Amino acid sequence: MMAVIRFWLAHRSELASAFGQHVLLVAVSTLVAVALGVPLGVFAARRPRLSAPLVGLANVVQTVPSLAMFGFLLPVPLLGGVGARAAIVVLILYGLLPIVRTTIAGLTGIDRSIREAGVAMGMAPGELLWQVELPLALPSIVAGVRVAAVVGVGSATIAAAIGAGGLGEYIYRGLSMVDSTVILAGAIPAALLALAVDGGLLWVERRLSARRHSRSRRLAAGLAVAVIAIVVISSSALAGRSARTIVVGSKNFTEQVILGELVAQTIERKTGLAVQRRLNLGGTLICDRALLGGDIDVYVEYTGTSLTAVFHQPLSTDPKSASGSREDGEFSSAAARANGGGATRALGKDVYDRVRDLYARTGRTLLPPLGFDNTFAILVRGRDARALGLRTIDDAARETPRWRAGFGYEFLDRPDGYPGLAKTYGLRFLDSPHVMDLTLSYRALASGQVDLIAGDATAGLIKGLDLFRLEDNRHYFPPYDAAPVARAETLLRYPRVRLALDALAGRISAADMQAMNYAADALHEDPATIAKRFLADK
């Protein structure tokens, strides 16, 4: 616990900002859900035939996992994209069901004689609703708001996966670094916030139950003012960014977060422009959609991933078939340097050129590679490799019928992933491969939970956990040269950004990247500090 407290003290301004973003997401979404859910509940209560379909639709929304819901909204114009806007839409959808249901329950539970008394006094339907029914149903409605708000606090942590900010950023960062301190730094404030919201609204609910004579008109007016005030105050935060802000994104594993910091700090140092970080954005397709939609301006991608997973293009990994025999001083493949140039360099150049052309057709620019090739690494425990004399993937294939495998989410489905690998090497396992987070898979292998994984060649945990990388002797995997990809519009508007990123070309070796990953994953150093130190040394 002391380590968590020290982390909070060292990152107090960042923590305050994340906490504020979290509260803002929950407050705005809950208030809008109330503004929509209560009228829908009143409508459904007065028309019983419509209440079942309405509640049924809300129930269907609740059954969709929140991360999947965020993914569904990414390509939707106006409502989707990366950032707080899509997160608020999802949180509103999740908040509607409890509010609608409790509004219906509160109104239908009112004694018929009370309504008849109001009608006998000459009350119009509207007066009866505002002066009698809503005040009596208010405790039930507040109970629904309480449930919606608590659900919102939890779901808002997941919204960090699409760059919405909040306390979930610490949780995702901690997962990518396998650092329980960072995970708890985000999880504890989120849990305390949920308890505070639940306790506060429970107190309000009880007070209303004890004092049913509260005026609903005054409450409705206050609610409307609160909604307007919060939306106005938060508009700048939710609208996006200023015209002179560059948004840097990254995927959700250690190396990508470090590369995102390297790109962001380089732009800040060399251009003087403000940089907004949207790191830990989930997988390849989320980052690609964010770049296409203008939610981010630049992130680092890998050429083989771009070719196969983004553009779904076929690839021959035979170096002799590469059409890139032309030499270009701008291109520098880490794999080529390791093999003394020649055919491997030609293949890397061929893939880079093809990907660069494909990006150019979609208004994006692939910049020169950073200097290292982060290919997939098929890993086993070091002691197993030594005991069984394993050197290549072919060597391991004879052992896999009694082994268990563990792969990341993307690797199981992508064109250059497990299906093709299994076919190329004839891999068969004891049971179906386990699906797990990429970073967690290293520790699962080291602890004996699985026997073979697909990791990153530059992962710091390979050395830290005594893992052994098997040689891809059939050349199944294509080159994965890391290179920034940016919106062409951004580079044209701010030429200094391109000059800044060009300064990183060829400056990061595979050894450099592995050392930085090791500092984050094994030594639990902050990615921003690691990037700052690297830039200072270089």
Domain termination site, one of 441, 470, 499: 470
CATH code, 396: 3.40.190.120
Q: Distance between CA 258 and CA 512 in Å, rounded?
A: 12
In order, the DSSP letters of 103-119 are: HHHHHHTS-HHHHHHHH
Residues 397 and 504 in one domain: no
Q: Give the per-residue pLDDT at 222.
A: 55
275 forms beta bridges with: 246
Structure tokens belonging to residue 1: 């616990």
Instruction: Indicate whether 77 pLDDT > 70.
Output: no
Per residue in 24-39, pLDDT (tens digit) is 999 999 999 999 999 9
Q: Which residue has the higher pLDDT, 235 or 498?
A: 498
The single-letter code of the amino acid at 142 is V
Scan for tokens 């329980």, then name that residue.
180
Structure tokens belonging to residue 296: 């981010």
Residues 282 and 298 in one domain: yes
CA proximity to 104, closest of 150, 35, 31, 48: 48
158 in Cβ contact with 67 (< 8 Å): yes
Instruction: Indicate whether 338 pLDDT > 50.
Output: no
Residues 393 and 461 in one domain: yes
Q: Return the top range by mean pLDDT from 165-169, 230-234, 368-372.
A: 368-372
Per residue in 381-420, pLDDT (tens digit) is 999 999 999 999 999 999 999 999 999 877 887 878 899 9
Q: Give the per-residue pLDDT at 514.
A: 93
Q: Give the per-residue pLDDT at 457.
A: 92
In order, the DSSP letters of 411-425 are: HHHSTTSHHHHHHHH
Q: Give the per-residue pLDDT at 341.
A: 47
Residues 518 and 442 in one domain: no
Structure tokens belonging to residue 83: 């950032």
Residues 458 and 520 in one domain: no
Instruction: Indicate whether 212 pLDDT > 90.
Output: no
Instruction: Indicate whether 229 pLDDT > 70.
Output: no
Domain termination site, one of 197, 217, 239: 239
> Which residue segment(s) compose the domain that 352 sits in?
245-373+479-537
User: What is the share, in percent, of the chain residues with pLDDT greater than 90?
Assistant: 43
CA proximity to 279, closest of 164, 408, 366, 190: 164
What's the mean pLDDT when you consider all of the chain? 83
Where does the pLDDT of residue 317 fall: very low under 50, low under 70, confident under 90, or very high at 90 and above?
low
Instruction: Indicate whether 12 pLDDT > 50.
Output: yes
CATH code, 106: 1.10.3720.10
Residues 349 and 404 in one domain: no
Per residue in 478-519, pLDDT (tens digit) is 889 999 999 999 999 999 999 999 999 999 999 999 999 999
Scan for tokens 């170096």, then name that residue.
319
Q: Give the per-residue pLDDT at 325.
A: 35
324 in Cβ contact with 353 (< 8 Å): yes
**Element at 130 (helix H, strand E):** none
For the ranges 196-205, 314-323, 486-495, 502-511, the lowest mean pLDDT is seen at 314-323
Q: Return the top range by mean pLDDT from 68-77, 99-108, 116-125, 292-301.
A: 292-301
Residues 326 and 188 in one domain: no
Per residue in 117-143, pLDDT (tens digit) is 877 888 887 788 888 888 888 888 889
Residues 421 and 531 in one domain: no
Q: Give the per-residue pLDDT at 334.
A: 43
Q: Distance between CA 227 and CA 224 in Å, rounded?
A: 5
Domain termination site, one of 435, 450, 470: 470
CA proximity to 93, closest of 110, 114, 76: 76
Where does the pLDDT of residue 364 fall: very low under 50, low under 70, confident under 90, or very high at 90 and above?
very high
The single-letter code of the amino acid at 158 is I
Instruction: Indicate whether 324 pLDDT > 60.
Output: no
Instruction: Indicate whether 305 pLDDT > 60.
Output: yes
405-407, strands of its sheet edge to edge: 434-435, 405-407, 452-456, 376-381, 467-470
Residues 103 and 119 in one domain: yes
Q: If 0-12 CB within 10 Å is exposed, 13-18 middle and 19+ buried, where does residue 68 land?
A: exposed
Instruction: Indicate whether 237 pLDDT > 60.
Output: no
Residues 450 and 496 in one domain: no
Q: Is the dihedral of CA 31, 33, 38, 39 positive or negative?
A: positive
**Number of domains within the chain:** 3
520 in Cβ contact with 460 (< 8 Å): yes
Instruction: Indicate whether 43 pLDDT > 60.
Output: yes
Residues 56 and 107 in one domain: yes
Q: Give the per-residue pLDDT at 238.
A: 47
